Amino acid sequence: MRSLKEEIDRRRTFAIISHPDAGKTTLTEKLLLYGGAINLAGSVKGKATARHAVSDWMEIEKQRGISVTSSVLQFEYDGYCINILDTPGHQDFSEDTYRTLMAADSAVMVIDGGKGVEAQTRKLFKVCVMRRIPIFTFINKMDRDANDTFDLLDEIEKELGIATCPMNWPIGSGKSFKGVYDRQKRCVITYSDTEKGTREGEAQEIPLSELDRLTGFVGEDLREKLIGEIELLDGASAEFDLDKVRRGVLTPVFFGSALTNFGVEDFLQQFLRMTTAPLPRKSDAGTVDPVEQPFSAFVFKIQANMNRAHRDRVAFMRICSGRFDADMEVRHVQGNRVMRLSQPQQLMANDRKILSEAYAGDIIGVFDPGVFSIGDTLCMPKESFAYEGIPTFAPEHFARVRQMDTMKRKQFVKGITQIAQEGAIQIFQEFNTGMEEIIVGVVGVLQFDVLKFRLENEYNVDIRLEPLPYEHIRWIENQDEVDLTRLVGTSDMKKVRDLKGSPLLLFVNPWSVGMVLERNKGLVLSEFGRN
C-alpha cells in the first residue's frame, strides 16, 4: 500500500494544446492506447461511419470532427497515474482551453511539421507563459512532407520566445521519412507504420557507428545529411537543462507521427521522466503544499448534460493538496457552507466510474446541484482560503436570442442558463427588462452554432439568433458609487446586466469607451469580469 506522498508523487497532470488539425486528439488517443485505457484508437474525422475519438464525446463533435470542449482522461502507465486534459484547438473555444490550463502542471504542444507555428499555437502558448508551466513540443505528421527541421525550431524560438532542445532528429519526411536519430542513445530508430490504430510496431535501433547498416537502411544521401546535421546540432543547439524545462524557458522537442504511432511511446516515457509531480499552488492564505496540507481543490470547468439520460451537471475539480475520500465533508468557500461532494467520479471523457479516493494532481467530477461556479475553492471544514480566481474572457461577438416556441419558456431559460454557467457563453439581460430579452456574448462565432445545437438537442428548444453590432464590453468596477440611470453614454452604447445582476456596457466602437469615461468622471471600467 502506497503512502500519501508516494501516491501524489506518481501523479502527472498535463494539457495537450495545438492549432486545429495538428493531430492533438490523435496523439491523445495513442497515449491512451499505450496506457491500455483503450484497445483501438478512434478516428477524429467528421464521417458518420467512422469511429470517433474517445475524447470527442459531444454529439456536435462527432458530427463536425472537431473538439469543442475540454475532456479529462485518466490512465495508468509504468507506475504513473496520468491525467490528460485534452483541449479544443479551435480559437473560438480558447476560453475553455485557458481554464483547463489553469488545472494543468505542464503542457504538450503539438505542431504540424508541414505548417509550423500557427495562429492558435501562439495564443495558447502565451497562456502557458502566463502560467509559467513547462512546455514539451511534439512535432507531428513527419510521415507527410514537412518543413525544414532547422526552420521549424527557429520558428518556435522566434515566434514563441522559448529556447528549443531537440531530443531526437528526423531523417527525411513524407515518403522519404526513415525514422529519427535519438541524440541520447546515439542511434537511429527506424520508422515503422502502425496506422490501423494498434500499438504493435517493429522499430529497429541502428547505432550511428554502424555506417554500412545505416546506409543500407536510409541511403547514402540521407546518411550524409544526417551526420552533417548532427554535427551542427551538437555545436549550435541549446543543451538540455531540466531546471530550465521546469521553469518554462526551454522546450524539449520530439519528432514523430501520432497517426502511425511512431515516436509516441518514446515521447511518453521521456516526458514522464522530465515533468513533475503536483507542485504547490498559491492561495490568498499563502502557498498550499500538495503533500503537507489536507484536501483542497478548485473548480475549473462545469459541464451540463454529459449523461443525457440523467440531465446531470458535473463540476470538474483539480485536487491541489492532500487526499480526497468520498464520504468526507468539505467547505465550499465561496458558498460558505460545509457539504459532502455527491457522486465523485473518475472520468474517461463522458464515461465515468464512482471513486472512493483521489489525490493531489487528480481531476475528479462531482455532481453539481447548481451551487458551484468556475473558480470556486473547496477545502477542509476548519480551513477557509481561496485559490487565485480564473478571469473571464471578454466576448467579442453578440446576438439577441429569440425563442421560436414561447410555450417552452421554462426549458429555454433553464437551458441557456445552464450552458452559460459552464462558461462557454455569457448571457446578458436588457438593463430594465430582465429575462424577457436575452443577449448572448461569445469569444468565437462557432459558439453560436454550439449553443443553437445544444438547446435543440439537449433541451428541445429552437432559437433564432439576431447578430448585434457590438464588439466591445466593459464591466463597471465601482457600480456602488455610480448612478447608472444618470450615466451619460454614446449613441452606440448599450447597458446590460449579467447573470449575477452586475451592470455592463456594450459598445460598437472602441473609442466610445474613452468618451464615456470622459463624460462620467469617477467611472471605472474593466475589460475583465471576475468569477
pLDDT of residue 139: 97
Rounded to 5 degrees, what are φ and ψ at 513?
Answer: -60, -50
Residue 384 lies in a domain: no
Residue 1 lies in a domain: no
pLDDT of residue 129: 76
Residue 408 has what DSSP assignment?
G
Whose grid coordinates read 464512482? 354
User: Based on the domain organization, do 161 and 83 belong to the same domain?
Assistant: yes
Q: Classify 218 as helix, strand or coil.
A: helix
User: Based on the domain organization, do 352 and 476 belong to the same domain?
Assistant: no
pLDDT of residue 57: 38
pLDDT of residue 95: 64
The one-letter code for the residue type at 425 is I
Query: Which range of residues forms the domain containing residue 260?
Result: 12-274
User: Based on the domain organization, do 202 and 67 belong to the same domain?
Assistant: yes
Distant-in-sequence, close-in-space partners of 175: CB < 8 Å, separation ≥ 6: none
On the question of pLDDT at 38 being above 90, the answer is: no
CA distances from 158 to 124, 161, 360, 507, 531 (A): 16, 5, 36, 36, 34
What integer is the mean pLDDT of 503-531? 87
CA distance 124 to 112: 15
pLDDT of residue 94: 57
CA distance 376 to 154: 41
pLDDT of residue 21: 81
DSSP strand pairing (106-112 vs 11-18)? parallel
User: Based on the domain organization, do 292 and 268 belong to the same domain?
Assistant: no
CATH code, domain with 342? 2.40.30.10
Buried b (16+ CB within 10 A) or exposed e, 64-103: bbbbbbbbbbbbebeebbbbbbbbbbbbbbbbbbbbbbbb
Residue 184 lies in a domain: yes
Residue 306 lies in a domain: yes
Whose grid coordinates read 452604447? 493
CA distance 464 to 401: 6
User: Based on the domain organization, do 225 and 293 belong to the same domain?
Assistant: no
User: Based on the domain organization, do 256 and 285 belong to the same domain?
Assistant: no
pLDDT per residue as tens digits for the range 281-332: 999 999 999 999 999 999 988 877 655 554 578 888 999 999 999 989 999 9
**From 68-77, 90-99, 264-273, 274-283, the region with the lowest mean pLDDT:** 90-99
pLDDT per residue as tens digits for the range 338-348: 999 988 887 65
CB 497 within 8 A of CB 528: no
H/E run at residue 4: helix 4-9
pLDDT per residue as tens digits for the range 113-159: 999 988 767 777 777 777 788 999 999 999 999 999 999 999 999 98
Among candidate residues 349, 379, 409, the one where a domain is terminated: 379
User: Based on the domain organization, do 448 and 509 belong to the same domain?
Assistant: yes
pLDDT of residue 500: 78
Q: Classify 55 as helix, strand or coil.
A: coil
User: Based on the domain organization, do 353 and 452 belong to the same domain?
Assistant: no
Residue 21 lies in a domain: yes
Task: Name the pTM for this structure.
Answer: 0.78
CATH code, domain with 473? 3.30.70.3280
CB 136 within 8 A of CB 167: no
What integer is the mean pLDDT of 526-531? 66
Take residue 467 and report the three cell numbers written for it: 447578430
User: Based on the domain organization, do 86 and 103 belong to the same domain?
Assistant: yes
Going by C-alpha positions, the residue among 368, 375, 291, 362 that lies closest to residue 333 is: 375
Residue 146 lies in a domain: yes
Among candidate residues 239, 274, 309, the one where a domain is terminated: 274
pLDDT of residue 39: 56
pLDDT per residue as tens digits for the range 390-443: 766 678 889 999 988 888 989 998 888 888 877 778 899 887 765 567 999 987
Residue 301 lies in a domain: yes
DSSP strand pairing (80-86 vs 179-182)? unpaired
pLDDT per residue as tens digits for the range 99-110: 788 899 999 999
Residue 386 lies in a domain: no
pLDDT of residue 47: 36
User: Based on the domain organization, do 430 and 451 belong to the same domain?
Assistant: yes
Q: How confident is the model at residue 493 (pLDDT cuts 50, 70, 90)?
A: very high
pLDDT of residue 179: 92
**Cα-to-chain-centroid distance, residue 165:** 24
pLDDT of residue 140: 97
Take residue 201 and report the three cell numbers written for it: 510496431
User: Based on the domain organization, do 46 and 165 belong to the same domain?
Assistant: yes
Whose grid coordinates read 504540424? 112
Among candidate residues 379, 405, 428, the one where a domain is terminated: 379
CATH code, domain with 132? 3.40.50.300
User: Based on the domain organization, do 214 and 302 belong to the same domain?
Assistant: no
Q: Count structural domains, the chain.
A: 3
pLDDT per residue as tens digits for the range 153-176: 999 999 888 999 999 999 999 999
